Amino acid sequence: MSMGSAGKPRILHCHSSFSAGGKELRCVQLINAFGPGLHHTIVSGSPEAMSASERISRYIAVDYPSDFPSLRGKPTPGRLLRLARALQGFDLVLTYNWGAMDVAMAHTLFSDLLGLPPLIHHEDGFNEDEADRLKASRNWYRRIGLGKASGLVVPSEQLEEIALMTWHQPIGRVKRIANGIDTAAFTHRPRPDALRGVVKREGEFWVGTLAGLRPVKQLSMLVRAFAPLGERWHLVILGEGPERDAIRAQAERLEVSHRVHLPGPVTNPAAAVGLFDIFALSSRSEQFPISVIEAMAAGISVVAPAVGDIAQMVASENGTYIVAPGNESALINALLDLADDVELRRSIGAANRAKAQAEFDEKRMIASYRRLYASALGREI
């Protein structure tokens, strides 16, 4: 076993981006939970997208090499060999989503020749180009590229089925580990001024969401679905991304821009989510969104399309408000129903909180990842 600073095992993380999204924040959550006994190296396919690094504890040994081979480019033999050689000297390689699949392919092709460390791949969902239909060429590439992986981690039942049936992964390689959060942190009521640039006023109600401002999230549709709600209702969208101007334009066209707020991303969702009266998603594609668990833990009712595992995640009492994907009318009606009935919102929220605490607390998730990574490393962590 090679060792990093102070004799610590070295863990390499390869991400397409290390912005503060769901999979990146889970990675940070695990890094912090495992403590200072490991040395972490984080590589981003988008070197400018590193905002999740701000959440890593200062007591953790972590570096961000500037000379690591790019994760982007054509999978030529020479480039894959350079990637494979860059894996030498680590004790465990962790790759995340399609943007790091070339690293997994390099590992499979050159693992025996170069004596590479074990690799565990993580799949959390798909980009816009595979939101509606998986690409056959990528399915083929994944089948081969994961050939020497010690594990393939997925958070949802849907992804588990894809891994087994479409990517033809052996059942022993696929590990389904549900996302988890510190549910206790979401039981406290946030301050009305907890968010930058927007304050919750007396008598206001908020529909809220946490999402990357990307086309796959269909946030302009969420603006349209929100618009029929009365003047006391506001829409608060927490996140960053390229769709900000399109969302603003949609709100202006519908003359609700004074009730639509985009304060940007939040570093601590527990300090903000509890301000929402309804949590809403409008995505074309999700798998096991952490934001839904956060809303549930905060005791909030959820309106969302039935994509990924969302329908199974929420409490049964919330099931009526998980609607058919792409059905804008159903999304509108679900929001209107909940907006009109405060007691219904409260009862559903209480059921969601109970389920989140029972099934999605971070302790279970962290223990599962700890066992998996320790098995690959051949030592306790």
Give the Cα separation of 290 and 89 in Å (integer): 33
State residue 344's pLDDT score.
98
pLDDT band at 266 (very low <50, low <70, confident <90, very high): confident
- Those residues with Cβ within 8 angstroms of residue 78's Cβ, 6 or more apart along the chain or in another chain: none
Distance set, CA 1 to CA 68, 112, 263, 276, 356 (Å): 21, 16, 46, 48, 38
User: Among 31, 13, 2, which Cα is nearest to 369's?
Assistant: 31
Query: Average of pLDDT values for 80-102?
Result: 97
Give me the residue spans of the domains in the chain.
Answer: 5-180+362-377, 183-359
Residues 274-306 have pLDDT tens digits of 999 999 999 998 888 989 999 999 999 999 999
| 371's tokens | 């066992």
What digits encode the pLDDT tens for the residues 319-351?
Answer: 999 999 999 999 999 999 999 999 999 999 999
Residue type, 85: R
pLDDT at 348: 98
Please list, residue by residue across 44-77, b when 16 or more beta carbons sit within 10 angstroms of its beta carbon and e when fewer do.
bbeeebbbbbebbeeebebeeeeebbebeeeeee
Give me the mean pLDDT over the 115-129 stretch.
90
Tokens at 103, concatenated: 């690293």
| pLDDT (mean) for 83-107 | 97
Q: How far is CA 255 from CA 247, 250, 319, 334, in A?
A: 12, 9, 31, 21
Q: Which of 270, 290, 236, 278 is nearest to 27 (CA)?
A: 290
Check if the beta carbon of residue 352 is closer than 8 Å to that of residue 294.
no
Four-point Cα dihedral 267, 288, 107, 39, nearest 10: 30
CATH class of 183-359: alpha beta
Q: How far apart are CA 339 and CA 336, in angstroms?
A: 5
What's the CA gap between 233 and 230, in Å, rounded? Answer: 6
Give the per-residue pLDDT at 275.
97
> Does the fold of domain 183-359 match that of domain 5-180+362-377?
yes
Assess whether pLDDT exceeds 60 at residue 5: no
Question: What's the whole-number average pLDDT of the chain?
Answer: 94
pLDDT digits (tens, 9 = 90+) for 132-170: 789 999 999 999 999 999 999 999 999 999 999 999 999
Name the DSSP letter for residue 107.
Answer: H
Sheet holding 119-122, edge to edge: 61-63, 39-44, 10-15, 92-96, 119-122, 151-154, 174-176
What CATH fold (topology level) applies to the domain 5-180+362-377? Rossmann fold (3.40.50)
Residue type, 300: I
